[in-house]
Homo-oligomer: A and B are copies of this chain.
Amino acid sequence: MSQFTDIDRLAISTIRLLSVDQVAAANSGHPGAPLGLAPAAHVVWKQLKLNPQQPEWINRDRFVLSNGHACALLYSMLHLSGFDFKIEDLKNFRQLGSKCPGHPEFELPGVEVTTGPLGQGISNAVGLALAQANFAATYNKPEYTLSDSYTFAFLGDGCLQEGVASEACSLAGHLKLGNLIAVYDDNQITIDGNTNVSFTEDVAKRYEAYGWEVLYVENGNEDLDSIAECIAQAKQSKDKPTLIKMTTTIGFGSLQAGTHSVHGSPLKPDDVKQLKTTMGFDAEQSFVVPQEVYDLYNTQIIQPGVKQYNEWTQLLEQYSSKYPELAAEVTRRISGELPQDWEKTLPAFTPKDSPVATRKLSEIVLQNIQGALPEMIGGSADLTGSNLTRWKEAVDFQPPSSGLGDYAGRYIRYGVREHGMAAIMNGISAFGANYKAYGGTFLNFVSYASGAVRLSALSGHPVIFVATHDSIGLGEDGPTHQPIETLAHFRALPNMQVWRPADGNEVSASYKVALTSKHTPAIIALSRQNLPQLEGSSIEKAAKGGYVLQDVENADITLVSTGSEVSITVDAAKKLAEKNVKARVVSLPDFYTFDQQSEEYQLSVFPDDIPIMSIEVLSTSGWSKYAHESFGLDRFGASGPAPEIYKTFEFTPEGIATRAEKTIAFYKNKQVISPLHKPF
């Protein structure tokens, strides 16, 4: 006998119409997928562990709408299940300042991750599931299951075609994440029409190849029992993620059902009317929720969820008396605060210390801080030995059956999957529990992950990209591996720290600021080659994003540089001094952090009346924010030993000094204003 009644079917009609009404009110949006997916959403919600009054509850089930364009559906569900989405909010769908924007945004209550850019949501879901597995393995005790939540995701053909999803799902299969349940909305329609124009692969077979369990719902439009059975079965699949391939009709019930014209355009008014009539609703009314539906959601979803939450808080209390230290750690992590004095574990350096590559200094930082920060979880996209992202005692995050690690392990072998890695990191961060996710690759290949990095910034996930081999200084691998445009790209991205530390203190500062950051991700660009420990650097100064490394009275020029060029610039200043040319040297490891400082401080670093020249072996684009002139590399690099390449492109003390002198001559007898002054 079915567990579903007519009230369930009424609820599904309500969801369908609420979603269609949102799109109609905005005269913009995507009605097709919500119409097809409403039954699955209803069935999933009926067994979702949630508490709308505690949307951040750490043991809630997560729901990710990877096909984010179907967001009207999500807003309908969040409204019915008691989250802070009023009918008035739904009526403002896609309006400026609305709580129901055109794609779901992370900040909103009940929205687990920002979706819309295809392939990201399902990849974030892998990260959420990974974090849950790690959290559970770290804190659960035989008699106390603090964490046992599931991650659900809806996704469509678009997400399945994206490479980022392929990467993340392959890894999810490898990692045997049985807590991940994805519902594939197999409606055979994308924007270009039928999927047979471009997407005829056997998706189920591919996911089996990844190591997933694949289940089937043949009639996702109506067969609620089949959906429920698949979900129950998926929950039993403990060592495999599950893909439920569910056949639906896009725009179910609409006159345009089953066509791509119902994907991204509002239904015609007549179509909306016939839909309402057919479903037994008043064709003239909009945004209608029958009281029985509210009651069903209240008694069958909200109340059980609140009860589960209350039981969980009691469980945590009992846990606290038995495991006070662990409980304190859990509580601290949930509060989002780092441990007191963690930053004292950061190494500091003096000029007497040996020259070391900043990637190696990054390894030292990770080694030093990992004990203090159990929330730190990181890895590399198959460049562990090059990125130096693994501390000595690290345990790999692996399925215990692999014999290679366990789920409490905090080192992730991402494989050669940069984009998947970044999207998974976003998911880990979104899980909560103060997870600090980092991931390593070459700086040049952070670009492969651009789609996900952008969402780190837009969503405010404070993840860290450990980006080594940050310039032509990597040498022989040549221009395919040497970043040029990369820093300019990510510095132009809002809400993104882009560190390029010059020595050990600056590396410590970059981690200090990045790890303290609550809503801003960071890229830390690190050298392959050794760099000296600078006279004048300190963690405190570098943590301001920029500072005067070497000052001089009555300076003729301010030289500002980052990373591996700072020490060369210091040598250039010495060369200039020999000619009685006075150069200040500024180190500017992160534009974003520097921009947060007071105007007064910023002007003390870049004062008026002194021409400013920047030095960095990458694109000069973006530097004019601080410098009048820029010495950089606005062409591709070359393959050869690094010192020879530096020489060829004149990134030497002489090459810098010559340009400094030309800059001074150019600005002689001209009024020089700091670029920090702006008319608006």
Contacts and interface: CB of A to CB of B under 8 A. Distances in A.
A489 to B, nearest CB: 4
Give the bracket for the number of chain A residues in contact with chain B. 35 or more
Best-surrounded residue of A119, A445, A639, A641 (most CB of chain B within 10 A): A639
Nearest to A479: B458
Interface in A466-503: 475-481, 484-485, 488-495
A347 interface: no
B415 A199 contact: yes
A414 interface: yes
A162 B170 contact: no
A494 B662 contact: no
A386 B455 CA distance: 23
Interface string A383-401: 1111000000000101000
Nearest to A114: B480
A640 interface: yes
B492 A488 contact: yes
Given A206-B209, A382-B198, A494 B488 contact: no
Best-surrounded residue of A28, A191, A211 (most CB of chain B within 10 A): A191
A579 interface: no
A478 B622 contact: no
A475 B28 contact: yes
Contacts of A190: 382, 415-416
B94 A476 contact: yes
A670 B673 CA distance: 10
Interface string A188-210: 00111000111111110110111
A385 to B, nearest CB: 6
A211 B201 contact: yes
A645 interface: yes
Contact of A678 (B481, B629, B671): B629
A584 interface: no
Given A98-B639, A648-B96, A621 B413 contact: no
Copies of this subunit = 2
A480 B117 contact: yes
Contacts of A171: 198
Contact of A484 (B477, B493, B624, B640): B493
A269 interface: no
B197 A396 contact: yes
Contact of A166 (B166, B448, B454): B166
A492 B619 contact: yes
A97 interface: yes
Contact of A167 (B97, B163, B396): B163
Interface string A614-658: 000001011011000101001110111100110010000000001
A420 interface: yes
B208 A417 contact: no
A215 interface: no
A350 interface: no
A481 B69 CA distance: 11
A445 B203 CA distance: 24
A186 to B, nearest CB: 15
Contact of A118 (B164, B416, B479, B640): B416
B416 A158 contact: yes
A304 interface: no
Given A101-B478, A209-B209, A492-B622, A163 B419 contact: yes
A647 to B, nearest CB: 9
Nearest to A118: B416
A662 B202 CA distance: 61
Interface string A86-122: 0000000011111001110100000000111111000
A416 B162 contact: yes
A173 B205 CA distance: 14
A29 interface: yes
A665 interface: yes
A213 interface: no
Interface in A565-618: none
Q: Which 10 A-B pairs have the closest CB atoms?
A: A163-B163, A624-B624, A96-B640, A666-B679, A198-B415, A101-B639, A488-B492, A116-B480, A489-B489, A102-B478
28 contacts: A26-B476, A94-B476, A94-B478, A96-B645, A97-B640, A102-B477, A102-B478, A102-B480, A103-B478, A117-B448, A161-B382, A161-B417, A163-B163, A163-B420, A190-B416, A191-B383, A192-B415, A196-B404, A197-B404, A206-B210, A447-B454, A458-B479, A484-B492, A485-B490, A492-B621, A631-B680, A659-B679, A671-B671
